[in-house]
Copies of this chain bind each other. A is one copy, B any other.
Amino acid sequence: MSETPDNVVQTVRTYIDQHRADFLDELAEWLRIPSVSAQPDHAEDVRRSARWLAAKLSDTGFTTVEIWETGDGAGAPAVFAEWPSGDADAPTVLVYGHHDVQPAAREDGWHTDPFEPHVVDGRMYARGAADDKGQVFFHTLGVRAHLAATGRTAPAVNLKLIVEGEEESGSPHFRDLVEAHAARLAADVVIVSDTGMWSEDTPTVCTGMRGVADCEIELYGPDQDIHSGSFGGAVPNPATVAGRIVAALHDEDERVAVPGFYDGVTELSAAERALIAELPFDEAAWLNTAKSHGTLGEAGFSTLERVWARPTAEVNGIGGGYQGPGGKTVVPASAQLKLSFRLVAGQDPAKIELAVRDWLDGLVPAGIRYDIVFGAPTRPCLTPLDHPALRAVAGAMSRAFDGATVRFTREGGSGPAADLQDVLGAPVLFLGISVPSDGWHAPNEKVELDLLMKGVETTAHLWGDLPAAVPAAAPQR
């Protein structure tokens, strides 16, 4: 798969080699700021992290750099930066990342201080090294390498960055932020750098994420727990009803049995199924990552297809009656269910909610009252395999990886990226160089420094390649 690097590849690599040490020193400086958004006593650190990044983006050359408050100042700030191309027909790219990190403490099992970066064997260990500071920060060196390789003074694309500060807290203000600044964020392509690739040896681009709709169901039976000897077998039991609802979620082929659930689902093409089948999937290793002891899912689909491209219904929580030690012979007064539905392209969360409500109504017997409350849904996002921006990302990545074939993955989870697709109406691509062993949210998180440089290289090429691939459509201000 290797080929002789062309001149641009060589120029980019030379530039990166010259700046790698400084780049890593600066990244380490950023990683020393414990920007833990979930912990109120780190709120000022998150603000400091935003200011640090803003200053660094100005140094890099971004002509506009702003710190955007969220939640009327009650949330953690995001950083917005913009560097116009100057070319009339240049497409606009919006890069998404986040500067907050997961909590970390030495006693959780870290071998070294999580906020004192530590390089061993080509890996930098620190909280946020991969998720997501390292992957945000490669864009600074990437755009400089792009300029160096092309001799330009501004990028060939209108480059925008939005780096939020609350991703590890569930992005509670992100949708509002995007809606409030939709005009400023307008783009032809969104590049999310907050994911990973298949493995060190298999560069991949993620093409979509599942959406999610979740609900809580409360079932009410007797006014209080009642004696199951005196009354059991003659009155409806809300815990039994909860179980029956759970059982009715799926048919015997493990397909979701809510009528209308699959309406509009974008089915996997034969071509994409073939590409997924070609990935070097090791079920035992996957089960180990899943900490699970067996596979079970929709008949007719592989494990990867099930988690990437098929909608699901999952029981996240169930409770009712006596849960303490020993037994207690009661008919419980109430029972609760927390369900979530992962959605794929073509499914509309609003229609799913209606379908679930109708389905539930037919399952609850007389004598049981129920409430159902849905949370704010996240839409699915998916970019078709033949989308020119996706081909451009894959091509740039292939150059960075010495001509290796770039494969395609999807992400089973759901994230704020869908808000960008939703509000901005732009395709979302996922460019990440993290690998499964990086330990996101775990002790001893690290990033592979050679892969980090591959991220730099990929963007250096991508900004040069995109103008030919993607026509400008986003309104320029």
Contact = CB atoms under 8 A, between A and B. Distances in A.
A330 B318 contact: no
Interface string A214-243: 101000011110111111111111011011
Interface string A65-101: 0000000000000000000000000000000000000
A366 B296 CA distance: 8
A375 interface: yes
A305 to B, nearest CB: 9
B226 A291 contact: yes
A316 B330 contact: yes
Q: Copies of this chain, how many?
A: 2
Interface stretch (A29-37, A144-152, A319-327, A426-434): A319-327
A326 B375 contact: yes
Contacts of A246: 239-240, 242-244, 246-247
Given A327-B214, A332-B316, A338-B327, A233 B294 contact: no
A307 interface: yes
B243 A315 contact: yes
B315 A227 contact: no
B315 A332 contact: yes
A423 to B, nearest CB: 21
A222 B291 contact: yes
A410 to B, nearest CB: 11
Contacts of A216: 326-327
A60 interface: no
Contacts of A228: 312, 314, 316, 340, 342
B242 A307 contact: no
Interface in A244-274: 244-250
A209 to B, nearest CB: 8
A381 to B, nearest CB: 13
B294 A235 contact: yes
Contacts of A338: 321-323, 327-328
Which of A287, A297, A328, A329 is packed against the most chain B CB atoms within 10 Å? A329
A7 interface: no
A158 interface: no
Interface residues of A, number: 79
A233 B297 contact: yes
A2 interface: no
B290 A240 contact: no
Contacts of A327: 214, 216, 316, 338, 340, 375
Contact of A231 (B234, B292, B322, B375): B292
A334 B463 CA distance: 48
A109 interface: no
B314 A317 contact: no
Given A216-B327, A246-B240, A323-B319, A235 B292 contact: yes
B321 A320 contact: no
Nearest to A413: B229
Given A212-B229, A316-B322, A221 B292 contact: yes
Contact of A224 (B245, B291, B320): B291
Contact of A316 (B223, B293, B312, B321): B321
A102 to B, nearest CB: 13
A133 B230 CA distance: 22
Contacts of A239: 246, 315-318
A329 B322 contact: no
A306 interface: yes
Contacts of A314: 228, 232-233, 237, 240, 329, 331
Given A234-B290, A246-B247, 10 more contacts: A226-B290, A228-B312, A230-B411, A232-B342, A233-B298, A237-B314, A240-B250, A244-B246, A317-B322, A327-B340
Which 7 pairs from chain A and chain B are nearest by CB? A294-B367, A243-B246, A229-B413, A233-B312, A247-B247, A317-B321, A317-B322
Interface of A: 210, 212, 214, 216, 221-224, 226-237, 239-240, 242-250, 287, 290-298, 303, 306-307, 310-312, 314-323, 326-332, 335-336, 338, 340, 342, 365-369, 375, 411-414
